[in-house]
Structure 1
Amino acid sequence: MQRAYTVYARMDALAEADEEGPQVEETARAIVETIPDEAAQAMIAAESRGATHKEAGFADALLAEFTPAQAAAVPPRCRTPQGACRMTAWRKVVRWGLAGAAACELALIVCAVGGARAAPAAWPAVGSTVAALMTGATALLLLDHRRHRRGGLHRRAAFLAATAHNVPTPVRKLISHKITLATSFVRWTTRRGPHGVPDGAYPVPYAPAQTATLYGLLFVCIVETVALACLIPWPVVHTATLVLDIGGCYFLLALHASCVVRART
Structure 2
Amino acid sequence: MNVGLKNKKTSVFPGFGITLGFTLLYLAIIVLIPLSMIFWKSMSMGFEDFWKTIIDPRVIASYRLSFVTAFTAAIINGVFGVLIAWVLTRYHFPGKRLMDGLVDLPFALPTAVAGITLTTLYASNGWIGQLFSFRIAFSSLGITIALIFIGLPFVVRMVQPVLENIEKEVEEASASLGANRLQTFRKIILPELVPALLTGFALSFARALGEYGSVVFIAGNMPFKTEITPLIIMTKLEQYDYAGATAVAAVMLIITFLILFLINILQWWSSRKFIRE
TM-score by length of 1: 0.23
Give the number of the structure with larger relative contact order, counting CA–CA contacts within 8 Å between residues 6 or more apart.
Answer: 2
